[in-house]
Structure 1
Amino acid sequence: MINHHLPSPEPLHRAIARFGGVTVLVVGDFILDRFVSGVIERISPEAPIPVLHGRGEMLAMGGAGNVVSNIVSLGAAAIPVSVIGADKAGDDLMRMLGELGAETFGLSQQRDRMTSSKSRFSALNQQVLR
């Protein structure tokens, strides 16, 4: 027999209401996600691939950075801990975390390391390359 009764959302609502007094340590891979949008007007003469003319770019935190963003959006504090590169992507992540109000003392920027990043390219709302 199938139980058609859904569990009450009240325990979840109570837990979220208490989340404001919590500090969460987030250890993981902090990734810079880059979304490039544009238009494809032709195919490359060197290979049968589309040529994307970039028209816009958006940066977002991926990986553990996305976790930090979600924690902060629920009203809790987050302390990110990781090693990232001393590069533009690492600087962008540090800036975005600071804008969220997250403490960044647990992040170490290393010159001999590249910050993990993913780029996604789209045209007409269709991803064409990652």
Structure 2
Amino acid sequence: MFRQVVNLMEVFKAFDADNDGSITAAELRGIMESLGYSTSAQEVKAMMREGDTDRDGLLSLDEFLEMKTKGTEMGDLFTSLQTAFEALDLNGNGIVTGEELYELVTNMGINIPLEECQSIIAFLDADGDD
């Protein structure tokens, strides 16, 4: 379970586009779309209302993790996010490298330099193990 929470934290950081420690409705919609869900603005607002317990209009990491236990109308968010992490971990070793992120975004048609992907992973890698 601990590793799953760590993976969920890494997903949170990856989708916190502006690195401010919170997820906006737009960032949450991006998460859902990247997981293959077509979400309306109303659905995203409902998810934000459900998860945003302090009503500041943002999801903190704690609120985001708590959403895992509450579930959503979109299904088991935690399972979906775990699947997203596993999709990033191309060789299945439990570690996402800059090269794996680069390969994934390139395959999606997104043009991000390898060096930037490596920097993103280095930023997210709290324990420095790659």
Q: Same fold (TM over 0.5)?
A: no
* Structure with max Cα Rg: 1
Higher helix share: 2
TM-score normalized by the length of structure 1: 0.23
Higher strand share: 1
Q: Which has the higher contact order (CA 8 A, sep 6+)?
A: 1
TM-score normalized by the length of structure 2: 0.23
